[in-house]
């Protein structure tokens, strides 16, 4: 560890499953505005894989896009006062020419028309269609801080007061019959059991902004919540207790939205966003977070959605924005990446990212996971390839092609052999590569900070 020539970085990956969904390490991202200029909240179609549809509620109008928000088509004729994507994967709205006499409508996507479901009590402000077919609505009761929750049978033909007067415009239900709400005035939460027929207040130490049901709820019973716009919490016991989940992004505030990866059941990836457009990402169900260092310049974020291709879109006060990769810069700047021994995270500049393995020292050599070192060098997934037939690793960046094969102490750089003084290793089914040679092949400078047990990698990139 004391001699620089003995420092070799090894990065890890599985020969059969090389690309595991994780946080992109390159911090060169930005928000780009697309589509129309309106205050918009986005809704991803539950059938997006088939219909490629994104919906938006803008004021009292509902819009539909099938080209990733580039163009929009208005699909309502009457004003819309509330919108929900229900458990049956359908779009429902409160519609009427007056907000005093509303009805619930379902959008028939195949016929592109609205079908009336039922009338609702006067002054209704919110609703939720429960998984058992019943409907629950919230309406003002006595004062603006109290809401009367009514439960219907037979699709709204009869309504009964649940006796719970602390609800709000937030009504979020689970597949097994729980309904969560919050009191507008205080932020305290409420929970309805038996499909909203029995209500009680949650612990008053919690002040909720909204609730988000895990896509894997039937197995993990997890409900996420943003509290006080400054913390992400999760509960696995029907909301009795909530655990704070802010590791890696402590100190952030103005959180306003949570969204799940379309592949959440398998990749456990969840996203969050704040009002200023900062994006946070967790690959382990919210236990630890990394950040994408971007910010909206002129607008305020309302919510985010995640497409199956992991593209991130935001509805904002001035339209729709999309996270895109920045164009290659012109001027040079120094990028610094750091890996600390024993820590499942690393940094690029001021951004922190998670890893699914930790750097460690063995026989005076330091080992670093493969994809994260590649990301730290500014190499995206498209520049990394594993050939399971030849057992050859190929990493490409800016015209430099590096190839390496296990059991051979020869590094091929643009088809020219470079002899290394160490053999690659296979450890527990994972390939361990001499990363110092790799980093230097791409022009990086590698140093070791002994007091902090940290590997420091620096290289130049172009910028505007």
Structural domains for the chain = 4-20+329-463 (3.30.457.10), 29-325 (2.130.10.10)
The pLDDT tens digits along the chain (464 residues) read 433 333 333 232 232 222 223 334 344 788 999 988 999 999 999 889 999 999 999 999 999 999 999 999 999 999 999 999 887 788 999 998 776 778 999 998 878 889 999 999 888 989 999 988 899 999 888 766 788 899 998 666 789 999 898 888 899 999 999 999 998 888 899 999 999 999 999 988 899 999 999 999 999 999 999 999 899 999 999 999 999 999 989 887 799 999 999 999 988 999 999 999 999 999 999 999 998 889 998 899 999 999 988 899 999 999 999 998 765 445 778 999 998 988 889 999 989 998 887 888 777 777 787 778 888 898 988 888 888 888 888 889 988 998 888 778 888 899 988 888 777 776 666 666 766 777 888 889 888 889 999 988 899 887 65
The gap from C-alpha 447 to its chain's centroid, in whole angstroms, comes to 34
Question: Which residues lie below 8 Å from residue 98, measured CB to CB, with a gap of 6+?
Answer: none
The gap from C-alpha 401 to its chain's centroid, in whole angstroms, comes to 33
Cβ–Cβ < 8 Å for 13, 438: no
Per-state percent for the chain, helix, strand, coil, to nearest 5 = 5, 45, 45
- What's the CA gap between 425 and 9, in Å, rounded? 12
By CB atoms closer than 10 A (0-12, 13-18, 19+), residue 16 is: exposed
Which residue reads 């200023």 in tokens? 276
Q: What is the Cα gyration radius of the chain? A: 26
State the pLDDT at residue 428.
63
Determine if the pTM surpasses 0.75.
no
Q: How many residues does the chain have?
A: 464
- What's the CA gap between 343 and 7, in Å, rounded? 18
- What's the CA gap between 368 and 264, in Å, rounded? 26
State the pLDDT at residue 168.
85
Which residue reads 């209500």 in tokens? 199
Structure tokens at 194: 């038996």
Q: What is the 3-state secondary structure (H, E, C) of 347-413?
A: EECCEEEECCCCCEEECCEEECCHHHHHHHCCCCHHHEEEECCCCEEEEEECCEEEEECCCCCEEEE
State the pLDDT at residue 98.
74
- What's the CA gap between 270 and 264, in Å, rounded? 7
- What's the CA gap between 218 and 220, in Å, rounded? 6
- What's the CA gap between 292 and 183, in Å, rounded? 32
State the pLDDT at residue 144.
67
3-state secondary structure of 4: helix
By CB atoms closer than 10 A (0-12, 13-18, 19+), residue 63 is: buried
Phi, psi of 302 (to 5 degrees): -95, -50
């Amino acid at each position: 560890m004391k001699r620089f020539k003995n420092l070799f970085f090894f990065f890890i990956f599985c020969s059969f499953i090389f690309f595991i969904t994780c946080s992109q390490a390159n911090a060169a991202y930005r928000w780009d505005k697309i589509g129309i200029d309106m205050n918009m909240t986005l809704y991803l179609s539950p059938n997006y894989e088939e219909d490629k549809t994104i919906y938006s509620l803008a004021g009292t109008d509902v819009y539909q896009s099938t080209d990733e928000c580039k163009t929009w088509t208005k699909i309502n004729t009457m004003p819309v006062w509330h919108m929900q994507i229900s458990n049956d994967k359908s779009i429902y709205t409160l519609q009427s020419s007056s907000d005093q006499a509303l009805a619930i409508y379902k959008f028939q996507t195949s016929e592109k028309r609205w079908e009336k479901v039922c009338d609702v009590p006067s002054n209704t402000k919110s609703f939720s269609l429960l998984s058992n077919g019943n409907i629950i609505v919230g309406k003002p009761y006595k004062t603006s801080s109290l809401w009367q929750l009514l439960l219907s049978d037979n699709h709204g033909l009869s309504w009964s007061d649940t006796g719970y007067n602390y609800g709000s415009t937030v009504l979020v239900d689970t597949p097994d019959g729980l309904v969560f709400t919050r009191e507008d005035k205080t932020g305290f939460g409420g929970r309805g059991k038996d499909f909203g027929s029995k209500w009680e207040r949650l612990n008053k130490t919690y002040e909720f902004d909204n609730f988000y049901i895990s896509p894997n709820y039937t197995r993990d019973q997890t409900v996420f919540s943003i509290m006080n716009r400054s913390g992400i919490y999760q509960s696995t016991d029907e909301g009795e207790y909530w655990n704070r989940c802010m590791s890696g992004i402590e100190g952030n505030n103005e959180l306003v939205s949570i969204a799940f990866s379309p592949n959440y059941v398998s990749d456990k990836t969840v996203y969050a966003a704040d009002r200023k457009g900062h994006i946070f990402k967790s690959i382990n169900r919210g236990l630890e977070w990394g950040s994408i260092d971007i910010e909206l310049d002129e607008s305020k974020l309302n919510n985010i959605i995640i497409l199956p291709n992991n593209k991130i879109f935001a509805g904002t006060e001035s339209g729709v924005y999309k996270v895109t990769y920045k164009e290659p810069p012109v001027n040079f700047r120094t990028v610094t990446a750091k890996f600390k021994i024993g820590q499942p995270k690393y940094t690029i500049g001021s951004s922190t990212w998670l890893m699914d393995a930790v750097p460690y020292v063995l026989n005076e050599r330091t080992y670093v996971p493969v994809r994260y070192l590649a990301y730290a060098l500014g190499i995206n997934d498209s520049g990394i390839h594993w050939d399971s037939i030849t057992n050859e690793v190929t990493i490409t960046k800016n015209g430099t092609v590096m190839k390496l094969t296990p059991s051979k102490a020869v590094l091929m750089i643009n088809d020219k052999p470079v002899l290394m003084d160490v053999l690659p290793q296979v450890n527990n089914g994972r390939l361990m590569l001499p990363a110092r040679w790799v980093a230097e092949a791409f022009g990086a400078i590698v140093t070791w900070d002994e007091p902090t047990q940290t590997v420091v990698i620096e290289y130049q990139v172009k910028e505007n």
